[in-house]
Every structure is written in C-alpha cells, then in structure tokens.
C-alpha cells in the first residue's frame, strides 16, 4: 500500500490509513551557553506593521465572535500581499542583526552535507533507491539490476526547477520494470502532476495527469495503465485554499489524454469520502481503501479485475474500525485492524465467505501497539511500538511467531516492504544519536546487514538518550525522551527545546536530526514527550486527546515543561517550545494558556483559528480529531483553546517566531497571518513577536534543502537571541573541531 496525506504532513508508509506523520520535527538549535541569563530585548521596541481591523462578527450558536483580521484570509488580495511584504521586512531586518545567525547557518550547512539514502525497493527485476549527496535540494531516484551494480540515475528532480522547489511526490513501477509513473509537487503544494518515464531510455511519454491529491499511481499487471485519484480542477483563485470535496478514482490508459480516463468509482452522495486504489500483487483485484477525512476508521471495497464489468464490492462498509489492507492470498484478504483490539491485531477474511462469523484472527492483540504489517516471504512482518520505540516480529501465515527481529538499538524503523514471494526486504533504522542507516534483511536466515550507512562527523558516544515518565494534570503517566551530552548537570540553567505534536494517531519516535545534533554539541537539551492524541499506545491513547478531550494534550505538554523545570533540567527563562502543524496548534494553545511558563515559542504552520479551520482545502477532514464548530458542544471546546481567540490584550507573551509559507494548501497561511496580527496587537512585553513567511514553499513536504537550512538558521538564531546565549563563547566551528 502507499501514501496518504494527513492534514499536517506528508510521509510514505506501508500502513496506508496511518500514513499521517507530523511535519519533520522542529529540532532546536541554539548558540553557545552562558553561565548567567541576560536580557536580549532590543533597546527600542519593534515597530510592527500596522494591521487594519474590520468590523466582522460571526454568530456561533448564540455566541458572537469578532474576526477583525478576516481580510487576511484572501491571500490573493493586494492588501494581504502588502502585509506579507511588510511583516517579512521587519522580521528579516531583526534576524539579520543577530550575531549568531551566519555561523549557525554555516554549521547547519556543514552538518547537512552528508550522503543519505532512502529505503530501496525491488520491482520488475530492478532495485530502486533515492540518494542525496548532501546539499542537493531534492533526492535523486536511481535504479540498478543487482545490489553490486553501480546505481544509474533515473530521475533527478533538481533539474525540474532552478531553485529546487519542484519535488518528487511519489513513484510506481510496472510489473515488467519498463515504465515508471512519477508525481511532482510544485512549491510544496499538495497538488500533484503525474507523468510516465521509459526506464530504459530515460525519456518521458506524452501522458500527463493533473489535479491529483491524496493518491499514488497503481499499475495493472499488464502495464497498460494505472489507477489514481483526484479532485476536480479548482478555480484559479481557490487553488491553494478552496475546499476539496468529491474525490474520484480513475483508470488512465497509456497513450490516451486525461479527458478520456475511466471513472472507476465515486460517490456523489458522499462529498467527504476519499478513495485510494491499489492493485494487489497478484494483479487480480483493485483493493480500495475508502477514507473519511483523518478518521482512523475506514471502509474497504474491492473490484475483481478479471473483467472490466465486474462491480465494486462493498466488503467492509460499517465504518466501525480501522481496516488496513495488507495483502491477499487467493480469496483470503489480510488486514490490520483495531476492531475489538485498540492496540491492533491481524485478521483474515475470505471474500467468498465474508460474513463476520467466518473472520479468522491470525495474530491477536498484544501488550504493544501494532502499527502495521507487510507480507514478504509468505510471512507477516509486524511492526510494533513499545513505549514509543520500534519492535519488529515475524509470523507465519497461521500466526505463529517465527522470530523477533534484532534491531541495532532503541529507535525507530521504517520499510520492511516487498512482495509475497521475495526472500529479502530492506529497512531504515534511526535514533536520536544515530543517522538513518539502511539495512538489508534476509528473511531466510533472519540476519541484517548494513546496506548504506551515512557518515556524519560526530561521536554518538558523546551523547545519551533516556526515557522518563511523568504525571500529567489528571494523573495520566506520560513518557518523554530526553537527549543531551553525557554528564549533563541538573542545575536548572540548561537551554532546552521541548517539541511536541499530540494528534491524529501520530507517534513521535526517536529520530536523527542534524539541527538537534548541533544543539546537543553545545550542551543543549532536547525533550520530546509522547502526548495523548498520538498513536503510541493505540486507539484509547489517541482518543483521549481528541474533540472534547483535546485539552488533555495541552495539559500533557505543560506538565512536561513543569516536570523538566522541577527536576532541574531547565528553567522557564531557558525553555523554548516548538511544534509544527497540529504541533503549531499545540504551541499556540500552550503559550496562550501559560505565557509565564516559556521564554520562546516557535509555532510552525500551525492550526490557529479553530473556528474556521474546516473552511479551507481539506480542513473539514480534521473534525474527526478536533470536532466541528458546527456542533454547539464541540464549538464550546474549540473556542476555549483556539489560539487566535484566546490572546488577551496587555499580556506579556513569550518571544515568538511564527513560521508559515505562502503555498501551504494544507494548513493555509491565513491561520498564521491572523494569529501573528492578533498577537502583535495583544502583546505588552518588549520581547519580539514576529512572523516569517516563506515564499514558493508549502506545508513542509518536498521543501528544498536550501530553504530548510535558511529557515532553520533563522529559527535557531531567534532562539539564541531570546534565550540569552553568550556570544563570547567558542564558535560552533571551534566546538566541532574540539570534538574531532
């Protein structure tokens, strides 16, 4: 199976309905540490651009709510464009004067310059792998006939645009290995264009598919065409903010125009349903996952491809659980489900006898969260989460345990894909102090071997990761990872970056970041709590942070900060909080609820207007987690914590750098625009509250390396300035030399 978009971030996984991963973690990078805190407020308060207010009031179930910055939602309007330019002028003028900014950028560039690989896959008698030489804006797709052969470049997205803002969004290979369907995304948009390349010649065919979203291409076994899903073409002025309804599943036959594509399935009576079609490995069936927004529950239909006239069969249409399709063996379909198993189990359904009485449990629910499974070598490879780190187990088709895969340590894995008959698979392993390493796994012998290992200039033994458990406001036990240099002194004076997400069944697990590495090199501390709303412990943990219980997420995050302060890891004056997307909402809610607790706030592409999030693109899909403002009861809960609506005039808020992008068509930039304008109006302190608006970029997926480094340098320079770091200490470069 393949990729699905969450409301917040893009990632590929074999667990289709759970491919809602957060924006790449905003890892804190700061400057050198001072023994004594110092004020960094500018001598003269910043003069923010004037933001006009309009007299606009909405009535929500009898509650009148003013929306004076509603005009900023029109990102095409000249007034909005002028406001963006004015805000960026103030922000960049401030950032450019920070002494540490240039050396932070240089160090980030130095660290980012290491060779990285994606997880290989095999199709049509070939291997395919992505590689980035270090500072390339986009990773390049290579192919090879065997693992010993020098990879040949197949597709280089860096040639698609001069500035690297066109990214590879997905790819699919025919059964015979002759053709590659590939999607591209421009300037970070979720909209994708798909083309077809002849693998042998490296030339593109004339076929072109547009307005694709929340889909990949899935070839028929004969390679004559592929299935994909799309929305109707939007109006030009609504391309990035118009609401997306009525998803449709099509079949495209090679050599024909898109206008002649066959509409396979749609539901005019269900505007919010979405369809993902994937041809099974045996080529017999079109497996159709029918999703409804970001709800973890789904439907599952299928179509027998032996005849084009065969109807779509509604196999699972009760919308009562998650049914993630794994594979089929003849008429037996295998699923990962949380039906009667909040932590997940594997079941088998014979489509010839599909009544529930005939369903068979293959692998029962265990003590840990079953995140997903694949079927390779006629065995199930099941990936679990145990206290937010990965475990992998292998079962035979009867559900008997074959072995537990020995991983290199406590960390996170992705991969383990392949076809049923193959005897090898590949996976990636990473941890906070270990760069992502690619392994080849032999399913016959149960042995792993390093396939590609990056070389980053640092000594992982200089750092340590630990997991602690703290108690939230209501007594819930919450895990948290803490990473630092060895021998950390618990004196309350350590600068600390607290990063969180807490939503959409997404799990925050250990992962490597070069930005975090630079922070750790200087003695900084990084903390990552596993908040409710995430998927670390299954359905119940997720649901405990949704809708009317969303405040639990913020309470968990605030409790993490208080625990870190009480245990002398840091202090309020040395504490920065960060999060992206749903994590941006987290930062916005916590800084408005407890402005006294944090020194710096870094909300990125956040959902800040909880009364209008459902009015744009696919924001309606997030009501499964947030609830809907159209419900009186859920409106009350949303209004209570909505960051935009809980700013109080005359309050001293943390130093804040809001970041967003003009092409974000998932969390539209109006969220950040309105929040920044309201924050500047309400803030009574001298510390800066700024907004940085990236151009030719979107929500985060596919962002070129150059823009990632620029934004990271600006964000961390801001943190350096506002946390009062000592600029007289050694430079980042000198400290790196000391390490080596």
- CA–CA distance, 56 with 70 (Å, rounded to integer): 7
Tokens of 390: 């990965």
- CA–CA distance, 327 with 323 (Å, rounded to integer): 12
Tokens of 28: 């804190």
DSSP 514-555: HHHHHHHHTT-EEEEE--TTSSTT-HHHHHTTSGGGTHHHHH
Instruction: Give residues with Cβ within 8 angstroms of 710, minimum separation 6.
Output: 105
Instruction: Give residues with Cβ within 8 angstroms of 321, minimum separation 6.
Output: 297, 337, 338, 339
DSSP 187-249: TT-S-EEEEEEETTT--EEEEEEEEE-S---EE-TTSSEEEEEE-PPPPGGGTTTS-----EE
Determine whether 581 is an active site residue: yes
- In three-state secondary structure terms, 711 is helix
Name the active-site residue from 389, 645, 671, 699.
699
- CA–CA distance, 554 with 532 (Å, rounded to integer): 9
- Chain centroid, CA 334 distance in Å: 27
> Helix, strand, coil % (nearest 5) of the chain?
20, 35, 45
Name the active-site residue from 513, 581, 672, 687.
581
Tokens of 738: 């000391």
693 backbone dihedrals φ, ψ, rounded to 5°: -115, 110
Contact of 649 with 682, CB cutoff 8 Å: yes
Tokens of 268: 């005019």
- Chain centroid, CA 5 distance in Å: 9
* Rounded CA Rg of the chain: 25
Strands (E), 443-511: 447-452, 463-471, 477-485, 496-499
Angle between helices 101-112 and 514-521 (to 10 degrees): 120
| Inter-CA distances, 352 with 252, 287, 331, 348, Å | 29, 15, 7, 12
**Minimal CA–CA distance to 653: which of 698, 697, 688?**
688
- In three-state secondary structure terms, 405 is coil
DSSP 472-489: -TTS-EEEEEEEEETT--
- CA–CA distance, 27 with 41 (Å, rounded to integer): 24
CA 227, 232, 238, 243: dihedral to nearest 10 degrees?
Answer: -80
Tokens of 549: 């219980």
Determine whether 699 is an active site residue: yes
Dihedral of CA 413/419/421/422: which sign? negative
Instruction: Give residues with Cβ within 8 angstroms of 678, minimum separation 6.
Output: 69, 644, 647
Tokens of 347: 């079941």
> For the purposes of burial, counting CB atoms within 10 Å of the CB of 342, is it exposed (0-12), middle (13-18) or buried (19 or more)?
middle
- CA–CA distance, 523 with 35 (Å, rounded to integer): 12
Contact of 252 with 207, CB cutoff 8 Å: yes
Q: What's the length of the chain?
A: 740
Could you list the active site residues? Answer: 581, 699
């Amino acid at each position: 199976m393949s990729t699905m978009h969450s409301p917040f971030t893009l990632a590929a996984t074999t667990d289709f309905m759970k491919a809602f991963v957060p924006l790449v973690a905003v890892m804190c990078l700061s400057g050198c540490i001072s023994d004594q805190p110092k004020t960094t407020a500018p001598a003269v308060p910043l003069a923010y651009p004037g933001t006009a207010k309009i007299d606009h009031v909405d009535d929500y179930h009898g509650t009148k709510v003013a929306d004076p910055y509603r005009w900023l939602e029109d990102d095409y309007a000249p007034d909005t464009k002028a406001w963006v330019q004015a805000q960026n002028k103030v922000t960049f003028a401030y950032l450019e004067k920070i002494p540490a900014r240039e050396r932070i950028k240089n160090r980030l560039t130095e660290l980012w310059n290491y060779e990285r690989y994606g997880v290989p896959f095999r199709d049509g008698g070939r291997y395919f792998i992505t590689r980035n030489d270090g500072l390339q804006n986009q990773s390049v797709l290579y192919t090879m006939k065997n693992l010993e052969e020098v990879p040949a470049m197949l597709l280089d997205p860096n040639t698609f645009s001069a500035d690297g803002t066109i990214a590879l969004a997905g790819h699919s290979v025919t059964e015979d290995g002759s053709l590659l369907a590939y999607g591209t995304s421009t300037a970070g948009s979720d909209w994708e264009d798909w083309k077809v390349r002849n693998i042998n010649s490296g030339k593109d065919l004339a076929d072109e598919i547009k307005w694709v979203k929340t889909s990949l291409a899935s070839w028929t076994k004969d390679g004559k065409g592929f299935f994909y899903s799309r929305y109707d073409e939007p109006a030009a002025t609504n391309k990035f903010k118009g609401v997306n309804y009525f998803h449709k599943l099509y079949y495209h036959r090679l050599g024909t125009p898109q206008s002649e594509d066959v509409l396979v399935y749609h539901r005019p009576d269900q505007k919010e349903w979405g369809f993902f079609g994937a041809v099974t490995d045996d080529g017999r069936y079109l497996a159709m996952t029918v999703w409804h927004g970001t709800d973890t529950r789904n439907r599952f239909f299928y179509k027998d491809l032996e005849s084009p006239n065969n109807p779509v069969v509604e196999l699972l249409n009760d919308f009562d659980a998650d049914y993630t399709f794994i594979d089929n063996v003849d008429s037996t379909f295998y699923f990962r489900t949380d039906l009667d198993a909040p932590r997940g189990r594997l079941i088998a359904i014979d489509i010839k006898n599909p009544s529930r009485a005939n369903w068979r449990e293959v692998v029962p629910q265990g003590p840990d969260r079953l995140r997903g499974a694949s079927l390779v070598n006629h065995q199930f490879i099941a990936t679990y989460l145990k206290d937010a780190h990965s475990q992998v187990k292998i079962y035979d088709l009867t559900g008997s345990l074959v072995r537990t895969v020995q991983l290199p340590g406590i960390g996170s894995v992705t991969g383990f894909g392949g076809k049923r008959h193959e005897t090898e698979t590949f996976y990636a392993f990473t941890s906070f102090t270990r760069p992502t390493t690619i392994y080849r796994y032999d399913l016959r012998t149960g042995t792993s071997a390093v396939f590609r290992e990056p070389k980053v200039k640092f000594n992982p033994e200089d750092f340590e990761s630990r997991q602690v458990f703290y108690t939230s406001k209501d007594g819930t036990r919450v895990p948290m990872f803490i990473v630092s240099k060895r021998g950390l002194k618990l004196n309350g004076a350590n600068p600390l970056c607290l990063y969180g997400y807490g939503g959409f069944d997404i799990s925050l697990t250990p992962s490597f970041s070069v930005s975090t590495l630079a922070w750790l090199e200087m003695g900084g501390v990084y903390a990552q709590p596993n908040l409710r709303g995430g998927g670390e412990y299954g359905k119940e943990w997720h649901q405990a942070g949704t809708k009317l219980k969303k405040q639990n997420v913020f309470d968990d995050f605030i409790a993490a900060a208080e625990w870190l302060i009480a245990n002398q890891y840091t202090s309020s004056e040395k504490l920065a909080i960060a999060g992206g997307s749903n994590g941006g909402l987290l930062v916005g809610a916590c800084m408005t609820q407890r402005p006294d607790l944090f020194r710096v706030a870094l909300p990125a592409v956040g959902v800040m207007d909880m009364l209008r999030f459902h009015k744009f693109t696919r924001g309606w899909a997030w009501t499964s987690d947030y609830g809907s403002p159209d419900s009186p009861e859920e409106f009350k809960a949303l209004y209570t914590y909505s960051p935009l609506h809980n700013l109080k005039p005359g309050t001293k808020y943390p130093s804040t750098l809001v970041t967003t992008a003009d092409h974000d068509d998932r969390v539209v930039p109006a969220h950040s625009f309105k929040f920044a304008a309201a924050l500047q109006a309400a803030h009574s302190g001298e510390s800066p509250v700024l907004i940085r608006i990236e151009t030719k970029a979107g929500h985060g997926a596919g962002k070129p390396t150059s823009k990632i480094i620029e934004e990271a340098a600006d964000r961390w320079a801001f943190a350096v300035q506002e946390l009062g770091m000592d600029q007289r200490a050694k430079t980042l470069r000198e400290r790196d030399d000391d390490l080596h």
